[in-house]
Structure 1
Amino acid sequence: MADDGTHVIVGAGLAGAKAAETLREDGFGGRVVLVGDEQERPYDRPPLSKEYLQGGLQGTADRDSVYLHAPDWYAEHGVELRAGVPATALDRDAHEVVLADGDRLDYTKLLLATGSSPRRLPLAGADLEGVHHLRTLADSDGIAAAVRSSSRMVVIGAGWIGLEVTAAARLADVAVTVIESASLPLLRVLGPEIAEVFATLHREHGVDLRVDTQLAAILGRDGRVSGVRLADGTEIDADAVVVGVGITPNTALAEAAGLEVSDGVVVDARHRTSDPDIHAAGDVANLWFPSFGRHLRVEHWDNALNGGPEAARAMLGDETGHDRLPYFFSDQYDLGMEYTGYVAPGEYDEVVIRGEASSREFVAFWLAGGRVLAGMNVNVWDVTDPIARLVRLEETFERGRHADTAVPLA
């Protein structure tokens, strides 16, 4: 096991923090430097649109609960946390990372865990006060404060973040209008069969869900948001607007350094980039998934949770590589779900439902050529392992058994 040199991690989110933790747990005795843009120490992001946000709306948010480690953990484990000092350049020839304060860090191995940034709308009014995006703790705090002082809110984009924020706002009795350009929420991810479940869910909770709808402008008065204008001229009043139209991988450092970039930093199953001394993990990594024979850039918590440690072990010489499946989860109102596997839009033949979708207690399987590509359990628990086994089997789905609720999935 390597016990000297300097391993630098650029990006102090979940992937970066777990990589630093793994380097120490696996015996690396050299210098470990964790560089982050934010002044905060590393924290978990899923709570920002779920329990932490809901706590913020109720005035009970537990800030300490989102942090990944206690404040003293980094010093106690010999991890130099450079919070609030962004990396501005990579010098691959000199093996150096250049920081915003002018410091230059030598590295033996480097991990890019730079994450992603919310997409911005190229529309008039997008920069008005009261227009929010969600990525950071400060963003979540800002949305909670806005919702507490609002009676009506517009959410632009019916993806996971938009719908989770919508659910939190509705539970706080704020009127919410959701603007979505597609014909259903989550259509690209789930297809029409299951996306309809989420459309019904939100409408039943009083959400004004407007699909097949284009936004023309965000309206303001005296520098503050006052509503939105749709392409058909309709105007909707709002005290706050939340924009959730996807994220963009933070690839600027990698691109400027000449690494291979294509919808993220391209890496193999060991998180290696086109430079053997540089790895990448988390949202920024376009990772090779052996189970699907393709690169995927997965923007979910599980990918960062596992990707950071995988990359750290590869930095220490582990040749194994990963063989996991993409996984994500969501909680909205009384609906909890987990999704395992991957289906590209339009690349499945049918969806088979085990149970009744109308009851919102079921398992859905996406099939192509009789093979299970992915499964999603909705309010049915402790079945992610059996679902993963079905995805990995690469064998024909047995409708009579696998769709029969009387037969345990295990």
Structure 2
Amino acid sequence: MVDADQTFVIVGGGLAGAKAAETLRAEGFTGRVILICDERDHPYERPPLSKGYLLGKEERDSVFVHEPAWYAANDIELHLGQTVDAIDRTAKTVRFGEDGTVVRYDKLLLATGAEPRRLDIPGTGLAGVHHLRRLAHAERLKHVLTNLGRDNGHLVIAGAGWIGLEVAAAAREYGAEVTVIHRGPTPLHSVLGPELGQLFADLHRDHGVRFQFGTRLTEIVGQDGMVLAARTDDGEEHPAHDVLAAIGAAPRVALAEAAGLEIADRAQGGGVVVDERLRTSDPDIYAAGDVASFHHTLFETSMRVEHWANALNGGPAAARCMLGRDVTYDRVPYFFSDQYDLGMEYSGWAPPGTYDQVVIRGDASRREFIAFWVKEDRVLAGMNVNVWDVTDKIQQLIRSKARVNTETLADPHAPLDGLAS
């Protein structure tokens, strides 16, 4: 029974942690809530860092999950700029801060997120090498793109995933020259496969982005601490004033691993293993957001989802489970992206090798359509591009696991909510 004498500790001050704290209070928990964040900024949302805020279309204050005064008003003990360095599962304590403060917990939530993967090549210590994960990174990159655009400077981006492409779009809008280096055959290949990856390649080429596929960076060349060029394993040298490493993110599992919690295999995406209630291998410790690896009953596979919606929904689900509510976390994965005049939403899970075909509904040449990834006449995933208010229907179709007629699926005049047979 949860009561006012209990203490719930949340490690990680991103969206998942902040929404978990909010949910605990909304659900009537009157005990102590401690939220420990290793950044000095109040908890914020990350999508604007590569979208609206980076482009200068959104103000800095718009990224925060709550107003700063909200935490004190809701009796949330917020510790900013504090790192947790140990969990004692026997004593049920966490140790944090420069002075080694120790607090006891009744329930603990790990929402430690992920961190950018680093380029392991010469030259990464140069001043013009960047990552994008935190608000401070976005502030710095915004200044960099402004200068590159003004001076017709060159940005080389390592990686053609979502962050790489969104920054490429922002850089072109500022007027910078952009070259993207990517090991795969198309952008977003591991997520969308070649069929839709090619669409994003064409989109960016139409806006002046240069791609080098099937290659990787081997060295960043500099002089007097500044970037001059980027070399690739095909022998090419690309002019560069700045380089962005956008080669993915790694879950921050060191704390959980040191505490002896079960960690997923890197081949499965890594992360802290949780069950359908977001409980780790310790029943009093939960994990949510980018760091959590869970078995998704709908797709019958383990996955780790690094997108905004997973943090938005996973944090509250973990909070309710900590309170003893009967909650099963099986949300259909969802993410969105905005690049130039293209807006898209993706629901589901269908990496290359898991589907038989991609069915297009609408006009892909005009970039106004819905794509469906289909296996054995069942929809695994759907992506709506410049078509709106269809996400719920796409997710219902995925969740139903119903067989569909692919010719009808491709017909834009056939109602989406009448396709399941």
Coarse TM-score class (shorter-chain normalised): over 0.9
CA 1:22–1:405 in 2, change beyond 3 Å: closer, same or farther?
same
The residue correspondences of 1:386-405 to structure 2 (distance < 5 A) are: 386-405=393-412
Partner of 1:25 in structure 2?
A: 26
| 2:203 counterpart letter in structure 1 | L
1:210 alignment partner, one of 188, 209, 212: 212
CA RMSD of aligned residues (A): 1.0
Instruction: Give the Cα–Cα distance (whole angstroms) in 1 for the partners of residues 301 and 42 of structure 2.
Output: 34
State the partner residue of 1:298. Answer: 305
Structure 2 CA distance for aligned equivalents of residues 400 and 153 of structure 1: 43
Equivalent residue number for residue 172 of structure 2? 170
**Secondary structure of 2:399's aligned partner:** helix
Q: Name the residue aligned to 1:406.
A: 413
Partner AA of 1:249 in structure 2:
P
Provide the rounded CA distance (Å) in 2 between the counterparts of 1:153 and 1:43. Answer: 27
**Aligned match for 1:70, one of 67, 71, 76:** 67
Are the equivalent residues in 2 in contact too, given 1:361–1:378 (CA < 8 A)?
yes
Q: In the alignment, what sits opposite 2:267? A: none
Does residue 53 (structure 1) correspond to residue 60 (structure 2)? The answer is: no
* TM-aligned CA deviation for residue 148 of structure 1: 1.4
Deviations along 1:301-342, one digit per CA (max 9) or x if unpaired, are: 000000000000000001221231000110000011101111
* 1:95 corresponds to: 92
Q: Which runs of 5+ in 1 are unaligned?
A: none
Write out per-residue CA displacement over residues 214-233 of structure 1, whole angstroms, 9 at most, x where no aligned residue. 22101111111112011132
Following superposition, the deviation at residue 268 of structure 1 comes to 0.8
Contact 1:147/1:240 (<8 A) preserved: no
Distance 1:256 1:72 in 2: 34
1:146 matches 2:144 = yes
Shift of 1:345: 2.5
Distance 2:161 2:234 in 1: 23
Q: Say if 2:124 and 2:220, in contact at 8 Å, map to a contact too.
A: yes
Aligned to 2:158: 156
Percent of aligned positions that are identical:
56
Q: 1:327 aligns with which of 311, 327, 334?
A: 334
Question: What is the letter of the counterpart of residue 66 of structure 1?
Answer: V
Contact kept? 2:49, 2:138, Cα under 8 Å: yes
Q: Give the Å deviation of 1:61.
A: 4.9
Using the alignment, how far apart are the partners of 2:325 and 2:300 within structure 1? Answer: 21
Q: Give the drift of 1:402.
A: 2.1
Which residue number in structure 2 is paired with residue 116 of structure 1? 114
Aligned to 1:134: 132
Distance 1:256 1:364 in 2: 43
Q: Which amino acid aligns with 2:338?
A: D
Conserved? CA contact 2:296–2:302, under 8 Å: yes
Residues 217 and 228 of structure 1 are in contact (CA less than 8 Å); yes or no, is this contact kept in structure 2?
yes
Tell me, in whole angstroms, the C-alpha distance in 1 between the residues paired with 2:48 and 2:327.
Answer: 32
2:346 alignment partner in structure 1: 339
Q: Is the 8 A contact 1:3 1:27 kept in 2?
A: no
Residue 191 (structure 1) aligned to one of 189, 193, 196:
193
**Does the Cα contact within 8 Å between 1:49 and 1:164 map onto a contact in 2?**
yes
Q: Return the TM-score normalized by structure 2.
A: 0.95
Given that residues 317 and 327 in structure 2 are in contact (C-alpha distance below 8 angstroms), is that contact kept between their aligned partners in structure 1? no
Asked whether 1:233 is paired with 2:235, we answer: yes
Q: CA separation in 1, counterparts of 2:208 and 2:347?
A: 30
The farther-off stretch of 86-95 and 320-329 is 320-329
Deviations 1:119-171 (A, max 9, x none): 00110001211100000000001111111122211111000000000000001
Paired with 2:302 and 2:8, the residues of 1 have a C-alpha distance of: 26
Q: Distance in 2 between matches of 1:247 and 1:355?
A: 34
1:7 aligned residue: 8
Aligned residue type for 1:94? A
Q: Check the 8 A contact 2:192/2:351 in 1, yes or no.
A: no
What is the aligned residue count? Answer: 406
Task: Note the alpha carbon deviations across 1:24-53, whole angstroms, 9 max, x for none.
Answer: 000000000000000000000000000000
- Aligned pairs for 1:251-290 (under 5 A) are 251-262=253-264, 263-290=270-297
Deviations 1:198-243 (A, max 9, x none): 0000000000111112221011111111120111322111111111
* Separation in 1, partners of 2:300, 2:221: 46
1:366 and 2:373 correspond: yes
CA–CA separation in structure 2 for the residues paired with 1:246 and 1:391: 27
User: Which sits farther off after the overlay, 161-170 or 344-353?
Assistant: 344-353
Residues 100-127 of structure 1 deviation map (CA, whole Å, 9 limit, x = unaligned): 3210111000000000000001100012
Task: Give me the whole-angstrom Cα distance separating, in 1, the residues matched to 2:232 and 2:305.
Answer: 31
Is the 2:116–2:250 contact (alpha carbons within 8 Å) kept by the matching residues of 1?
Answer: yes
Amino acid of the structure 2 residue aligned with 1:327: Y
Partners in 2 of 1:216 and 1:2 — Cα distance?
Answer: 55
- Secondary structure of the residue aligned to 2:222 is strand
Q: Secondary structure at the match of 1:320?
A: coil
SS at match of 2:263: coil
Give the TM-score normalised by structure 1: 0.97
Cα distance in 2, alignment partners of residues 366 and 231 from structure 1: 33
Letter of the 2:94 counterpart: V
1:288 Cα deviation from its structure 2 partner? 2.3
Per mean C-alpha deviation after superposition, the further-off stretch among 227-236 and 306-315 is 227-236
Task: State the alpha-carbon separation in 1 of the partners of residues 178 and 226 from structure 2.
Answer: 18
